[in-house]
Structure 1
Amino acid sequence: MTTEITQIWLENRRGGTTVGIDEAAPRLSFVPTASAPGYEIEFTRDSGHLETHRTSSTRLVAWPFAALAAREGGMLRIRAAEGEYSTPVRVERGLGGDWQVDFASPSTAAPQGAPRPAYLLRAEVDLGAHGIAPADIARARVYATAHGVYELELDGAPVSGDRLAPGWTSYGHRIRCQTHDVTTALRDGDLHVFGAWLADGWYRGHIGFDGGVWDLYGTDVSLLLQLEATTADGTLHVIPLRWRTHASPITEVGLYEGESYDARLLPDGWSLPGFDDATWDDAHVLDRSAFPAAIEAPTALPVTEIETLQPVTSERLPSGRIRLDFGQNISGVLRIRPRAAAGTVVRLHHAEVLENGELGTRPLRAAFSVDTYTCSGAQGEEYTPRFTIHGFQYAELEGWDDDLEPGDVEAVVIHTEMVRTGWFASSHEGLDQLHSNVLWSMRDNFVDLPTDCPQRDERVGWTGDIQVFAPTALRLFAAHGTLTGWLRDLAAEQWDSGHVPQFIPWVECGFPNFPTAAWGDAAVVVPWEMYRNDGDLTVLADQYDSMRAWVDLVDGLTGHTGLWNHGFQLGDWLDPQAPPDHPGDSHTDRYLVATAYHVKTARILAEVAALLGRQEDAAHYGAVAARATRAFQDEFLTPSGRVVSDTATSIAVALVFELFADERQAARAGERLLHLVGHGGFHISTGFVGTPIICDALIRAGSVDYAYHLLLQQELPSWLYPVTMGATTIWERWDSMLPDGSINPGDMTSFNHYALGAVADFLHREVAGLAPAAPGWTGIRFAPHPGGGLTNASAAYDSVLGRAASGWRREGTTLTIEVEVPQGATGVVVFPETGEEVPVGPGAHTLTTTFRSVGDDPAAPFFGWRREQVDA
């Protein structure tokens, strides 16, 4: 069988961009379908020069050719031994900082407190006037970015499918540049027109909560676009553009508020040659050097339209509105195709849920989420909002008088384009739906950066959320590109003291900005999880100063005692027993959480330092971790193993973070944890900190069955309660919707938050039994835990080495385990009944052993206690 190369990527950006990159010598990784004695890498430069290289490695191969100069590129392909070459991949370096143009701005200031309009920009290109014959063009590129968000057209056609470009970064420090190939278009004649739609976006639009802010990064909205053409003789032409500007049909737009579009105002043919722009204004020219932010290549694929959903139900309401249910909570917009007279106004309303027979809009807070379209009356009208995004499952059309026909309305799912890498399935329908909900919440919240929710006036990169969710995110999708860029922003916005704001990029909208455990610890945990996932030390080296600064800060805050027992803390955020309006009022001591995380991140940093060859640092941070461990034991543990707070979270943290002095203490604490969980009726009692680890802690306490009882609970609060209520995404609160169908009365309620869905990692690792045993999946531990009445479960992961998979099924007392080990990895299968370990090598393997039958799985015991009656 011929070995094929199925994936090729640069650096750790699996599924990321390969054109317009910043690296002159990017490392290469690829996945073969089978092992081969060697591989041949071939690179054909645009000049025609062919270079080849032989390698035995498939991962992080150092660029084996001459370094790429700015703008230089070629076609890369790889084959195994003497097999067939892979499909060629374009590799091309970007400008390398050689910007020769300035920003063009239609608006340098705007009124406060209301959504602003979007603008049109156009620039004519006469190639002949620049001595360029279209047929002589060998290569043409557009390098573009913006203060705001933009979409490009060339001769009336979209240049790309990017949405909300250039995305949200820490604009004061860095901004992304997109590279577009326009060679074919420019060869088609002498005269061309570039058109741009431009709006505020995150740069100067309304962002943040508690009123939010405007003009956070500047008062201008502007476009930076450099057009280049290289002719066959090798001459590079940077073609100057004179930008003209005009009002657009988008009369108001905000990411939170929605978009108002009057189709009658669109100038016909505005981005085509021959259009008369005499009434248009010259754009303001803003000196690029006045904006010090670095202009960088993206590390991830763009935000784009991923798929469309048709409504599963529609009904005409007594009010005249048409209500649509798309059957799935998404991030995106509606696409409509109205048939109406000119001037007809159609309003599009959005909500995640229904309450009392109406759209549940109260949780949106100040994000009105209403799009307004004024029809032109033209045949074949179609409208899709450009510069806003909504979180919704339900929508209502107001002003749509015609009957709704198939294809008239669809939901457009919009998020960062990512390669899916993880799958889970079982015989339990509720667990499968829970996993689907986690998957969708990640999709809906990876809109350029890892956010908290896609629907209300927030949508920011909370550090605590991604800190607990990173292992799950990296299992479900190739998220390295997105997280790499986000970590750059984290390091850029980190204070000189080491403080990491609670969300990145930071928006000063009134939230307390103090060092916070489990949130600031993302600076250490997220790069560590990325390394564990793909074995690339580069992310640790790149983030090392940031990681060290955070740990040093916390060490200083403890007075170098290791005990973090003062200051602002969020603790076990959203403990289900916390009052609706005080989600931080956890029953778990917040300083216990803070000190435990100090131990965790100091230990990680010590290991990172050792991996990077920084032995003095390794010894230092090992000592910091040891000191913090002793402080935790002295302050929060009794000699017998009881834990201060006496909550499921406090014990779980101590168990999973390995904070006990000896096994006797840990065993005693495990007994107490089983008591608390069992006498709590196997209802969830944990918040953001405890939830991702509670099932692992129960297994460490000696009871897989208790983990299943907790996992499969359907009563409120539990993971499956939202599933019983029809949820298609993970809720922010365990009771975001109450059993009577009403929405939680708290001001902060979302139906699309991924943090509590971090349990999906447990489904893969422990239920299906698929877990890495070494960074980069070079070692794999297949240790399934049957139980809970499940007859089967399976998980698969497309690792950097290839597909790894684990599945099991029960027939009577026979347990069949099927595993797949990718090339370049080794594995061990652990039988659940005996603990016997069986080594396995690359390939597929089937093993059988004995295990109790499904009917012998124990039911959850009933202790006769209500949750509030749990005592010592």
Structure 2
Amino acid sequence: MTITPVPDTTLRVTGLQAEHHPHPFGITTPCPRLSWRTETGLPAWQQRAYQIQQFNAAGELVGDTGRIESSESVVRPWPFEPLQSREHCRVQVQVWGNAGPLSGFSEPLVIETGLLQAQDWSARFITPAWEEDLTKPQPGPLLRREFTLQGAVRRARLYITALGVYDVHLNGQAVTTDVLTPGWTSYRTRLRYQTYDVTALLHDGPNAIGALLGDGWYRGRLGFGGGKRNLYGQRLALLAQLELEYEDGRTERVVSDEQWRASTGPVLAADLYDGETYDARLEQPGWTEPNFDDRSWRPVCILSEDFARLTGPEGPPVRRTERLEPKAIFASPSGRTLVDFGQNVVGWLRITVQGEAGHTVTLRHAEVLEHGELGTRPLRFAAATDHYTLKGEGVETWEPRFTFHGFRYVQVDGWPGELRLEDLQAVVVHSDLQRTGWFECSDPLINQLHQNVVWGMRGNFLDVPTDCPQRDERLGWTGDIQVFAPTASFLYDVSGFLSSWLKDLAADQLDDGAVPAVIPNVLDAPLPAAAWGDAATVVPWALYQRYGDATVLEQQFTSMKAWVEYIHRRTGPSLLWTQDFQFGDWLDPAAPPTNPAGGRTQPGVVATAYFARSAELVAHAAAVLGRTDDATQYRQLAQDIRAAFAAEYVTANGRIISDSSTAYALALQFALLESEDQRASAGQRLRALVREGGYHISTGFVGTPLICDALCSVGEHDAAYRLLTQTECPSWLYPVTMGATTIWERWDSMLPDGRINPGEMTSFNHYALGAVADWLHRTVAGLAPAEPGYRQLEFHPVPGGGLTSACARHLTPYGLTESAWDLQDGTFTLRAVVPPNTTARVTLPNGDVHQVASGTHAWTVPHRTAGVGEPVTLDSDFDTLTRHPELYRQVLETVQAHSADHLDSFRASLQSSLAGASLQRAVWGIPHREALLQKLERLITGQLA
């Protein structure tokens, strides 16, 4: 009997959100745009229409669009009256499709606005009325206020922020699990506030609210070389407005004002770089509860602040997202007690300890060991040390509030008694972004590389996209996020996170359009430079491509234009950006440890290439926004810059000045070559350079994100895979072989002998060089957007590198998609999942192209792996030999044993791109050549017998 499967005809609307918020509570957008996904088993399903209903706080239907004929389901305009401050409503959506039944209504989405106008605030910023020593961290102030409820409360909302960071409690209970709030913005122009539902924390009669403040980014030490304090202000302050709505309709406000009282407590010092010092003997039990005796507490005073800069969050808050148990406790050679958590993380320790009152435990954090001891030199001026003094009342559990560290290892000093694994936990802390992308393949080293990218992003996406999380820096370097934005937007939903940061970029942009190298800007010199300042154009465009929301282009367009016009003024009529400070191809592995900008590629090549790219992106953005005059102007400017670049830097046959991999990658990826012949020649030269380098990385921050795509664009997929799978230094996989669990700042942050790179600047958690993950997603697994927001998908896997399988999954704005391929016995199989309401273009390795609708599809085609099985002889070239890595290793050992002085010249000759380069010719010039050839002949014959 044959059973015919019954198709799944169910249709559900899921993932309803407002302004990219899955939980739009306390938002400050009066007309929040709505997005939703659909789930159905119906193949080729397309939305034909939708309907949205709105209900007020009482559950009454107050808005109904009726049926709207549209296939759009992402960031649809708010169809009802603009929301007012404090307004609470629910919306739900149903859809019609081209087939199957009408869906039911979605689960209601609760939307509540915060305070939309400055005049909605009756609270004031309050600060302790005492003098402080502003040259060093001060004890964290405690602020409190008691109040009495006048009846049963129906609803209570706390609107709160701080100058500094805060931790707030109500009646002894934590108001939120958010940490390090309100986060870091360009405080002078944008200060976020948070909204919390505190109804359940109130009770009849007396109540109390209390907040502890810390320096955070506001007045804590920021910057390298010792940094500076008090960059945004000298006084910490709290703004809190608790609004009560009683069951009988009455309302009341409890606000921060002169009625509050201030004191200090157990936090003696808290600094983001240096750590937290906490004396539990100074705790004041019950200070956030009613009926606490605060007569010894001191008054507060009012600060005059601009309420117009207050805004609600656009992205998720920073939270504790995971706890890790330690892997080992051991003694260092000097006798120090060290703890290994097995993973480089960002956050802090949670300790459980018991001992005498007054005894202090010290926790010092670092990412690596050197010679068996804690490797603290890369921390530079960051102490990264927490101190906890016991109160001596039994078992005590503690974790810091107002600091964070980048660490895998912790040195524990002063632990009373025996330190056990169960006494410690690493608390992982970062912005609580939704995971949206996954990748895996048949090579465990590449899988670990991808995991390192994910962990590096988690640690550095802590309210702003930082460069590193451990040393005296932790700044929002624009160059890092410029190259990493496509990878970030695949792995996590960063739509709100990065759109908020871009507003800070626009706010801190100088009047002449220059973009500082770090955002928020806290450096004395803004350092506007190519590939860094270009974050102003590249990041908005990346967000538009990945999320399909043109609003980010609208919001940033003035900033985008201003940056390009700044460069235009700097170049003048030549259109060549050859002056000013430039980072160049930062951290090119050829650059000396003391000069990371001293790479192989001329700074003017990098700068002018990015000038062309940014002008082109402004033209693209203008076209999307319907600004036809701007589109025409900047399209022409981009063409003129390309012509200037070609005239200055490119020969007639496609050679590019600097003759570096980065120069050719820029020219190929940014369309800087005027003819197909030049492009072909440049592609051949790029492949030759990569081969001559032994398929080691020869690019820095600028070239690395482009190199694999540049090679693939000229058909050199094999070379790209050889770069990817290289394990010798410098390479992506070298750190993996050294035990890395995050992406390093330098290719050789740790040397093969276990020593830390001697340069002053090295970090073991920098995500920029992990931008290769975007190529893993798009080319190795073969999953990319063909239209903005993945409305059409591109499936185009390119197998190689000896991989037998690869898979990428991504939660698009329309639903989950997947590209999974498998290669066995000469047969290639691809499985492609296309979300409802989208289409896809599929390109198979044999060149077949298919246009498909939503659903799950599979194809099987013959596929031969190039070069596999090719025998090795003395006439074999480098590429053939390295397809047998174990044999190649033994060849090198044989040459070294024969004549160590000639090993480098042997490798250079073998890797040469000159015609006829072979194993036999590579030994020319080595003494006793014939004897060496006989050894190699025996080795090859024995290996391949």
Q: 1:812 aligns with which of 801, 810, 825?
A: 825
Distance in 2 separating the partners of 1:6 and 1:751: 40
Tell me the residue number matched to 1:41: 52
Moved more, 664-673 or 605-614: 605-614
Show the counterpart of 2:917: none
Deviates more, 1:468-477 or 1:558-567: 558-567
The answer to whether the 8 A contact 1:175-1:293 is kept is no
Match for 1:263 among 272, 277, 280?
280
2:848 corresponds to which of 821, 832, 836? 836
Query: Any conservation in 2 of the 1:768–1:785 contact (CA below 8 Å)?
Result: yes
Q: Which residue of 1 aligns with 2:112?
A: 92
Mapped contact 1:33–1:802 kept (Cα < 8 A): yes
1:278 paired to 2:295: yes
Determine if contact 2:366/2:410 at 8 Å carries over to the other structure. Answer: yes
Match of 1:30 among 29, 36, 40: 36
Give the alignment partner of residue 195 of structure 2, picking from 179, 199, 202.
Answer: 179
The 1:761–1:375 alpha-carbon spacing in structure 2 relative to 1, beyond 3 Å, is: same
For the aligned residue pairs, the C-alpha RMSD in angstroms reads: 1.9
Q: Distance in 2 between matches of 1:534 and 1:126?
A: 48
Shift of 1:219: 0.7
Q: In structure 1, how many angstroms separate the alpha carbons of the residues matched to 2:682 and 2:215?
A: 54
Contact 2:795 2:841 (C-alpha < 8 Å) held by counterparts: yes
Q: Scaled by the length of structure 2, what TM-score is found?
A: 0.88
- 1:744 is paired with a residue of what secondary structure? coil
Correspondence for 1:752 among 765, 780, 794: 765
Aligned with 1:824: secondary structure? Answer: strand
1:138 match: 154
* Number of the residue aligned with 2:536: 523
- 2:864 corresponds in structure 1 to 852
Contact preservation (8 Å) 1:172, 1:292:
no
Deviation at 1:577, TM superposition (A): 0.8
Q: Answer yes or no: is the 8 Å Cα contact 2:332–2:373 preserved in 1.
A: no
Q: 2:27 aligns with which of 9, 21, 37?
A: 21
Q: How does 1:758-773 map to 2 (within 5 A)?
A: 758-773=771-786
CA distance in 2, matches of 1:140, 1:209: 43
Q: What is the alpha-carbon distance in structure 2 between the residues aligned to residue 178 and residue 464 of structure 1?
A: 30
TM-score (structure 1 length as normaliser): 0.96
Instruction: Output aligned runs, 1:570-585, within 5 Å.
Output: 570-585=583-598
Preserved contact between residue 354 and residue 416 of structure 2 (Cα < 8 Å): no
CA shift in 2, pair 1:322/1:625, >3 Å: same
Partner of 2:675: 662
Separation of aligned partners in 2, 1:312 and 1:433: 18
**Partner deviation per Cα, 1:99-158 (whole Å, 9 max, x = no partner):** 111111126763244222211111111123xxxx1x2x2211110010000010001110
User: CA 1:466 to 1:240, structure 2 compared with 1: closer, same or farther past 3 Å?
Assistant: closer
**Letter aligned with residue 124 of structure 2:** D
- After superposition, residues 495-534 of structure 1 pair within 5 angstroms as 495-509=510-524, 512-534=525-547
> Residues 217, 8 of structure 1: CA spacing in aligned structure 2 closer, same or farther, 3 A cutoff?
same
Contact 1:115 1:257 in 2 (8 A): no
Q: Is the 8 A contact 1:153 1:159 kept in 2?
A: yes
Contact 1:648 1:677 in 2 (8 A): yes
Letter matched to residue 118 of structure 1? G
1:338 aligns with 2:344: no
CA distance in 1, matches of 2:332, 2:681: 60
SS at match of 2:397: coil
SS at match of 1:227: strand
Per-residue Cα deviation, 1:789-825 (whole angstroms, up to 9, x for no partner) = 1110010111101112111101111100110111121
Q: Select between 578-587 and 376-385 the one with higher mean Cα deviation.
A: 376-385
Pairing of 1:633-782 with structure 2 (within 5 A): 633-782=646-795
Q: Counterpart of 2:461?
A: 446
Q: Secondary structure of 2:226's partner? A: coil
CA contact (8 A) 2:334 2:373 kept: no
Identity %: 48
**Number of the residue aligned with 1:121:** 143
Distance 1:739 1:520, change over 3 A: same
Letter in 2 for 1:244: R
Q: Which residue of 2 aligns with 1:866?
A: 908
Question: How many residue pairs are counted as aligned between the two chains?
Answer: 858
Tell me how far apart the structure 2 counterparts of residues 497 and 551 of structure 1 sit (CA, whole Å): 11
Distance 1:293 1:646, change over 3 A: farther
The structure 2 residue matched to 1:5, chosen from 10, 13, 17, is 13
1:203-282 equivalent positions in 2, closer than 5 A: 203-241=218-256, 242-282=259-299
Q: Secondary structure at the match of 2:647?
A: helix
In 2, the alpha carbon distance for the partners of 1:14 and 1:678 equals: 47
Q: Distance in 2 between matches of 1:87 and 1:715?
A: 53
Which segment drifts farther, 85-94 or 417-426?
A: 85-94
Matched AA of 1:523 = A
1:36-66 deviation line (CA, Å, top 9, x unaligned): 6544433321143223444453211211222
> What secondary structure is seen at the aligned counterpart in 1 of 2:574?
coil
Which amino acid in structure 1 is aligned with residue 155 of structure 2? R
| Partner AA of 1:125 in structure 2 | F
Tell me, what secondary structure is at the counterpart of 2:830?
Answer: strand
Structure 2 Cα separation of the partners of residues 79 and 250 of structure 1: 52
Distance in 2 of aligned mates of 1:692 and 1:224? 43
Task: Tell me how far 1:321 sits from its aligned partner.
Answer: 4.3
Cα-to-partner distance string for 1:363-403 (whole Å, 9 max, x where unaligned): 00111000000111223311010000000011121111322
Deviating more after overlay: 771-780 vs 395-404: 395-404
Q: How far did residue 319 of structure 1 move?
A: 5.9
**Partners of 1:811 and 1:853 within 8 A in 2:** no
Q: Which amino acid aligns with 1:615?
A: T
Q: Which has the larger radius of gyration?
A: 2
Q: CA deviation at 1:555?
A: 1.2
Where 1:513 maps in the other structure, the secondary structure is coil
Q: Which moved more, 1:726-735 or 1:58-67?
A: 58-67
Determine whether 1:565 maps to 2:578.
yes
2:211 pairs, out of 186, 189, 196, with 196
Change (3 A) 1:781 1:376: same
> Which of 56, 59, 70 matches 2:74?
59
Distance 1:663 1:594 in 2: 23
Amino acid paired to 1:849: V
Pairing 1:794–2:816 present: no
Match of 1:335, SS state, is strand
The 3-state SS of whatever aligns with 1:487 is helix
Q: Answer whether contact 1:14 1:478 (CA < 8 A) is retained.
A: no
- Asked whether the equivalents of residues 129 and 298 of structure 2 are also in contact (C-alpha less than 8 Å), the reply is no
CA drift of 1:80 comes to: 4.6
CA deviation map 1:757-787 (0-9, x unaligned): 0000000000010011111111111111111
Task: Output the amino acid matched with 2:424.
Answer: V
Query: Contact 1:391–1:455 (CA<8 Å) still a contact in 2?
Result: yes
CA drift at 1:655: 0.6
Structure 1 SS opposite 2:53: strand
Contact kept, 8 Å, 1:10 with 1:29, in 2: the verdict is yes
SS of aligned partner of 2:398: coil
Query: 5+ unaligned residues in a row in structure 2: which ranges?
Result: 1-7, 97-101, 871-877, 883-905, 915-945
